[in-house]
Chain A
Amino acid sequence: MNCREVQIHLSAWVDGNLEAELEGSVRSHLSSCDRCGRFLQEIRGLNRLVQNVPPELDPPERIWRRIEARLETGVSRPTPVPPSIFDWRDRLSLPALRFALPALVLLIGLSVYFLYDSENLERKEKAQVLAELNQFQLQVEGNPFQRAVSTSNPFFRVDLEAERNPFEGRSAEQ
Chain B
Amino acid sequence: MPAEIGRDELEEIIRRVQNGSGDDFQKLYHLYSKPIYNFIWRLIGSTEDAEDLTQETFLKVHSELRNLREPAQFRFWLYRIARNEVYQKLRRSQRVAEVSIDDEDANYYSFLADEAPDLDPEKLVLSRELSEVVDRTLREMTPKYRDVFILAVFQKLSYEEITHVVGRSLLSVKTDIYRARLAVKDALNRYLRRNG
Which residues of A approach B to under 8 Å, CB–CB? 7-9, 11-12, 15-17, 38, 42-43, 45-54, 56-60, 62-64, 66-67, 70-71, 76-77, 80-81
Contacts and interface: CB of A to CB of B under 8 A. Distances in A.
Contacts of A15: 152-153, 159, 177
B26 A64 contact: yes
Contact of A50 (B47, B153, B174): B153
B119 interface: yes
A56 B38 contact: yes
A45 B181 CA distance: 12
B122 interface: yes
A52 B130 CA distance: 10
B29 A49 contact: no
B57 to A, nearest CB: 10
B121 A49 contact: yes
Contact of A11 (B58, B120, B128, B178): B178
10 contacts: A8-B175, A12-B178, A15-B153, A43-B185, A45-B122, A46-B181, A54-B131, A59-B33, A76-B62, A77-B63
Contact of A51 (B34, B153, B188): B153
A113 B59 CA distance: 51
B177 A12 contact: yes
A110 B22 CA distance: 50
Contacts of B175: 8
Interface in B11-70: 22, 26, 29-30, 33-34, 37-38, 41, 47, 50-52, 54-56, 58-60, 62-63
Given A17-B159, A77-B59, A57 B130 contact: no
B135 A54 contact: yes
Contact of A57 (B41, B52, B56, B58): B41
Contact of A45 (B22, B60, B119): B119
B154 interface: yes
Contact of A63 (B22, B54, B134, B178): B54
Secondary structure class of chain B's binding surface, majority of residues:
helix
Contacts of B30: 64
Interface in B154-196: 154, 158-160, 174-175, 177-178, 181, 184-185, 188
Given A15-B152, A42-B121, A58-B34, 12 more contacts: A16-B158, A17-B159, A42-B116, A42-B118, A43-B181, A45-B120, A51-B154, A56-B38, A57-B34, A59-B33, A59-B51, A67-B58
B127 interface: yes
B34 A53 contact: no
Secondary structure class of chain A's binding surface, majority of residues:
helix
A36 to B, nearest CB: 13
Contacts of B154: 50-51
B3 interface: no
Contact of B130 (A8, A45, A53): A53
Nearest to A52: B126
B124 interface: yes
Contacts of B22: 71
Contacts of B56: 77, 80
